[in-house]
């Protein structure tokens, strides 16, 4: 797709079915909240009118419409709501309704996003993959700054600073290799492998360091990463 004024630039529309389901669910929750609030305002206005009629019938006086200030304030608050107000349409009478045209227009955009490229030779699929790789690169920088603590750097010598950055980069590379080989995030891998413990047993014959038995999930992680699992016995110290 090409737009006027963007010579040499291609625009590609991508669709994510998973994100489309999330958009639909999020919109459904917001519309339900709007309907509940509109029903509450309508019920409150009807209750106030019934009360005014009952008082007029009891006193024999002319019906005076109740003060509608509170209801109008509630409608204004709903109309100006930063999230729910987008689904509201105000009639000439001042009453609020759900904007069906807005809802239909938003449904057409569920799970869709627009990306641009200046490369004329890449296919739409290649551009989408490159865009996802960009997101992965940004996530990698966040990992280096948080999980791997790239900064702050407490070194003064240039060679130590370079070594620190290189070690962080190698750690990030190992994280990405483990994630790609196992299909799980690093947080899940770390949480699973941190359950492996070493226990030192001591007795009259000496001491032995024993590794807890691996679960099927833990063994699969080691296998997928082509890493040898820890030995069952890591230290054996007979008594003298």
Provide the CB-side half-sphere exposure for 222 (13 A, CA): 12
Distances (CA, A) of 118 to 8, 49, 124, 127: 6, 63, 12, 10
Per-residue burial over 68-107, b if 16 or more Cβ lie within 10 Å, else e, is eeebeebbeebeebeebeebbeeeeeeebeebeeeeeeee
pLDDT at residue 141, as a whole number: 72
124-145 and 158-182 helices, crossing angle to 10°: 130
What would the mean pLDDT of 136-150 be, rounded to a whole number? 71
- pLDDT-based confidence at residue 67 (cuts at 50, 70, 90): low
Does residue 130 come out as left (phi exceeding 0), alpha (psi in the -120 to 50 range) or beta?
A: alpha
Q: Does residue 136 register a pLDDT over 80?
A: no
Tokens representing 136 are: 């992965």
What pTM was estimated for this model as a whole? Answer: 0.54
**Block residue for tokens 């449904």:** 107
Q: Among the residues of 60-212, which ranges form H helices?
A: 69-79, 100-107, 124-145, 158-182, 186-193
For the chain, the structural domain boundaries read: 17-107, 120-183, 195-238
Do β-strands 96-98 and 88-90 pair in parallel, antiparallel, or remain unpaired?
A: antiparallel
Q: Are the CB atoms for 177 and 219 separated by under 8 Å?
A: no
pLDDT at residue 222, as a whole number: 92
Q: Does residue 210 register a pLDDT over 70?
A: yes
Please state, as a whole number, how many other Cβ atoms lie within 10 Å of the Cβ of residue 182.
19
- Return d(Cα 134, Cα 216) in angstroms, integer: 34
Distance, CA of 226 to chain centre:
31
Span 211-235, pLDDT tens digits = 888 999 999 999 999 999 888 887 7
**Between 197 and 144, the higher pLDDT residue:** 197
Comparing CA positions, the residue from 109, 124, 117 lying closest to residue 6 is 117
Of the given ranges (47-56, 87-96, 207-216), which has the lowest mean pLDDT?
A: 47-56
- Return d(Cα 156, Cα 140) in angstroms, integer: 25
């Amino acid at each position: 797709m090409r737009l006027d004024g963007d010579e040499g630039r291609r625009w590609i529309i991508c669709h994510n079915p998973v994100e489309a389901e999330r958009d639909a669910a999020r919109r459904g929750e917001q519309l339900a909240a709007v309907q509940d609030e509109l029903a509450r305002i309508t019920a409150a206005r009807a209750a106030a009118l019934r009360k005014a009629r009952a008082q007029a019938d009891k006193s024999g006086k002319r019906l005076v419409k109740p003060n509608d200030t509170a209801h109008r304030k509630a409608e204004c608050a709903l109309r100006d709501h930063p999230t729910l107000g987008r689904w509201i349409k105000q009639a000439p009478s001042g009453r609020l309704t759900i904007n069906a045209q807005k809802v239909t227009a938003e449904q057409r955009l569920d799970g869709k996003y627009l990306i641009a490229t200046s490369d004329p030779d890449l296919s739409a699929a290649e551009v989408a993959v490159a865009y996802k790789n960009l997101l992965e690169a940004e996530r990698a920088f966040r990992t280096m700054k948080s999980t791997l603590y790239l900064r702050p750097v407490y070194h003064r010598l240039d060679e130590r600073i370079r070594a620190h950055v290189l070690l962080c980069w190698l750690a990030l590379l190992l994280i990405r290799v483990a994630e790609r080989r196992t299909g799980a995030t690093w947080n899940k891998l770390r949480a699973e492998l941190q359950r492996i413990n070493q226990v030192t047993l001591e007795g009259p014959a000496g001491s032995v360091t024993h590794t807890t038995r691996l679960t099927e999930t833990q063994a699969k992680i080691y296998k997928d990463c082509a890493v040898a699992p820890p030995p069952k016995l890591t230290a054996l110290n007979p008594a003298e």
